[in-house]
Structure 1
Amino acid sequence: MWSTTDIAMMSRAIMLARRGRYTTRPNPNVGCVIIDSHGAIVGEGWHQRAGGPHAEVHAWRMAGDKARGATAYVTLEPCSHYGRTPPCAKGLIEHGLQRVVIAMTDPNPQVAGRGIFMLQDAGIEVVSGLMADEARQLNPGFLSRMERGRPYVTLKLAASLDGKTALANGESKWITGPAARQDVQRLRALNCAVITGIETVLADDPSMNVRYQELGYLQQQLGEDELIQPLRVVLDSACRMPLNARLLQLSGAVLLVSCQPYPAEFCEALPAHVQCVQLPGIDGRVDLAALLQYLGKSCNSVLVEAGATLSGAFVSCGLADQLILYQAPKILGAAGRNLLQLPPYQQLSQIPALQLIEQRKVGVDNRLTLKIGY
């Protein structure tokens, strides 16, 4: 069904789409390639920033008059509604495209096949499904938000070879090497939000932001003014957040989540970039499902950087989708602190299923990416 040209052009569109992965949220990453009747590329582009032109717009602007009678390859169904930009399906029609090849339909209820119908209704040949799996991998967070109403959840963990995160006395700086810590900064930059717990704040006083000077090679691709800081979320069920916490002093949005109202005087003393929200609790702790539903209004993907209790709770509740583990070539001993606090499983059939997706060296450490099944 698919020609070698079809596969080559969609592969290029997917490659282009990846260029926007640090700057498009909460929009999806999308790439587009336009070829003429001879198979030559006459236009291409990718969605570069939310609120800016979509991938198709960049491609047809580059193609100009050569777009008429041409074929477009798009990694996601062209939009059919007016948002911050006009519908791309309408633009493809107006620029005289003859054929549009789509990797996957858009699960956004505002689109959901309407873009395809609009193109077909205008007499354009539309085929879809080419490299659909690869296209889905471009946008796990966007798809999760559209299909499940919650963000895609990644747990970031760092441990020794014997599965410990710190010595018994709590000392943990630094288990991993500088290359792994740089990689974590890039991981934060990929996510809409970073979640931690109040115990981590009280113990470590973290900043939780992306430090541009520590992005390493990514600085060559991403200007400091292009960096989108993630929302920093602190689960503070009993309202124990100190006003002098470092993360409150740094610019960038912060969300404090509790199960009870914060005192009025505390809220009045907070900087303008800090917001408080009260969500339902379970046994005195924030209901994680309610939290993800709340964040799903605007966040595609979230990164959990927390201690064993909160990280384990995401797994126990079946709410963690992916685990990224930085494993250091160190042994901390039996008395060290454990990686995750999980229930006392009685049978192997009860434990979460882990699928290794990627394993690579990051400096002296190993980085393992695992999907979590329940």
Structure 2
Amino acid sequence: MHRALQLAEQGRGHVEPNPMVGCVVVKEGQIIGEGYHEKFGGPHAEVNALANCGGASLEGSTVYVTLEPCCHHGKTPPCTDALLAAKPARVVVAMQDPFPKVQGGGLQILASAGMEVCVGVLGDEAQRLNAPYLKRQRQGKPWMIAKWAMTLDGKLATANGSSKWISSEEARAEVHRIRGLCDGVMVGSGTAKLDDPLLTTRPPGPRTAARIIVDSQASLSESSRLIETIDQAPVIVAASTSARSERLERLQHAGCDLIVCPGNDHAARLDFLLQELAQRGMTNILVEGGSQLLGLLWDNRQIDEVYTFIAPKIAGGKDAISPIGGQGILNMEDATPLAETEVRSFGHTICVHGFTGFAA
């Protein structure tokens, strides 16, 4: 199963909104075939693994797969059909698939055919691998990844908003790698106005992230670099119902995709937006600021993963901007510790990566 999980990881960025899945076929103590779900719309892991068995008989074999085999017709036939035809003696599954059209049905079909079915081997590891898929299935929202760069004294920018560049060139290259694995890159209207960012991925990754601007009043300028490069990646503007109609029409005419979010406050509108993005098939969203948007997401427990890039620079200034705005906490004992933290160096910049556990 360890090997199957390694294989599954290779599908990251290529298979979403599907889950990442790996499969290994073992007979008489030897691996005779392996495969993974390589591309959305392409064959699933089990089919690829079976095809790589070189025509060997699977009678008496064990199939290890990181997620319950599907049992419905989607873009491909059911994987249970392929397994029934191959006739392995045993199928070991890391975790059940919560997708409504599967949800234990695949396991039941295999068991009813006389196969020995075992569930839960390295289940925690499998759930971590597909945490974004699981959040979208269970909560109807995308996996939200917060990223910010800050100085050693915790400043996102100076008091007048200057922020280029805090992190190293190597750190910025890592951010582009992360962008290339995501369905969307989200910023607030203040960041869009002050920084005039591109938010494209350079060089391109396996996914082309939509640029998502949380802009209640639809104030994004037509002369912004986002709109000037709209042919390179989509621009989605999330506005409120109070945005002026002429502004919405202007942005729509410029090629932006508009999402008008109902709700009496920022939190309600944000909740609507996240659900809408998930319904559009978005699994991973990278949030790059600013402080107000990150604070709103944090206060509403909608940040799942964090990349913090820390540069050995000191900015100072009592009015300089810190990364997470919002209400925050009153007592330090209530601070959220990140789990599974990892510290890496990118040139002179240190990156701390971890998970909040909010989606659990």
TM-score normalised over the length of structure 1: 0.88
Match of 2:290 among 285, 289, 307: 307
Aligned 8 A contact 1:162 1:331 in 2: yes
Q: In the alignment, what sits opposite 1:115?
A: 106
Q: In the alignment, what sits opposite 1:56?
A: 46
Match of 2:171 among 180, 189, 195: 180
Tell me by how many angstroms 1:360 deviates: 1.7
Cα offsets for 1:54-99 (capped at 9, x unmatched): 1111111111432521211101111111000001111111122221
Aligned 8 A contact 1:353 1:373 in 2: no
Aligned 8 A contact 1:197 1:235 in 2: yes
Q: Report the secondary structure of 1:337's partner residue.
A: coil
Match of 1:288 among 242, 264, 270: 270
Structure 1 residues 284, 17: closer, same or farther in 2, change over 3 A?
closer
Match of 1:45 among 23, 35, 45: 35
User: Is 1:364 aligned to residue 354 of structure 2?
Assistant: no
Structure 1 residues 117, 160: closer, same or farther in 2, change over 3 A?
same
**Superposed CA RMSD:** 1.9
Match of 2:214 among 223, 229, 235: 235
In structure 1, C-alpha distance between the alignment counterparts of 2:333 and 2:41, rounded to whole Å: 46
Q: In the alignment, what sits opposite 1:3?
A: none
More displaced, 73-82 or 319-328? Answer: 319-328
Tell me by how many angstroms 1:150 deviates: 0.9
User: Is 1:128 aligned to residue 111 of structure 2?
Assistant: no
Cα offsets for 1:279-300 (capped at 9, x unmatched): 1234467722111111121111
Map 1:66-81; keep pairs closer than 5 Å.
Answer: 66-69=56-59, 70-81=61-72
Map 1:250-261; keep pairs closer than 5 Å.
Answer: 250=229, 251-260=232-241
What fraction of aligned residue pairs are identical, expressed as a percent? 37
Aligned 8 A contact 2:295 2:328 in 1: no
Q: In the alignment, what sits opposite 1:12?
A: 3
Q: In the alignment, what sits opposite 1:248?
A: 227
In structure 1, C-alpha distance between the alignment counterparts of 2:355 and 2:299, rounded to whole Å: 15
Amino acid in the other structure paired with 2:258: C
In structure 1, C-alpha distance between the alignment counterparts of 2:265 and 2:73, rounded to whole Å: 44
Aligned 8 A contact 1:42 1:67 in 2: no
Aligned 8 A contact 2:136 2:283 in 1: yes
Aligned 8 A contact 1:259 1:285 in 2: no
More displaced, 327-336 or 179-188? Answer: 327-336
TM-score normalised over the length of structure 2: 0.92
User: Is 1:348 aligned to residue 332 of structure 2?
Assistant: yes
User: Is 1:21 aligned to residue 20 of structure 2?
Assistant: no
Aligned 8 A contact 1:17 1:29 in 2: yes
In structure 2, C-alpha distance between the alignment counterparts of 1:193 and 1:282, rounded to whole Å: 25
In structure 1, C-alpha distance between the alignment counterparts of 2:12 and 2:77, rounded to whole Å: 22
Amino acid in the other structure paired with 1:337: I
Map 1:163-242; keep pairs closer than 5 Å.
Answer: 163-212=154-203, 227-242=206-221
In structure 2, C-alpha distance between the alignment counterparts of 1:107 and 1:355, rounded to whole Å: 24
Tell me by how many angstroms 1:355 deviates: 3.6
Q: In the alignment, what sits opposite 1:106?
A: 97
Tell me by how many angstroms 1:268 deviates: 5.0
The count of aligned residue pairs is 350
In structure 2, C-alpha distance between the alignment counterparts of 1:365 and 1:230, rounded to whole Å: 25
Q: In the alignment, what sits opposite 2:75?
A: 84
Tell me by how many angstroms 1:339 deviates: 1.8
In structure 2, C-alpha distance between the alignment counterparts of 1:356 and 1:116, rounded to whole Å: 31
Tell me by how many angstroms 1:275 deviates: 1.1
Tell me by how many angstroms 1:353 deviates: 4.0
Aligned 8 A contact 1:313 1:341 in 2: yes
Q: In the alignment, what sits opposite 1:4?
A: none
Aligned 8 A contact 1:237 1:286 in 2: no
In structure 2, C-alpha distance between the alignment counterparts of 1:301 and 1:323, rounded to whole Å: 13
Cα offsets for 1:117-144 (capped at 9, x unmatched): 1111111111111111111121111011
Q: Report the secondary structure of 1:288's partner residue.
A: helix
Tell me by how many angstroms 1:113 deviates: 0.5
Tell me by how many angstroms 1:110 deviates: 1.2
Structure 1 residues 278, 370: closer, same or farther in 2, change over 3 A?
same
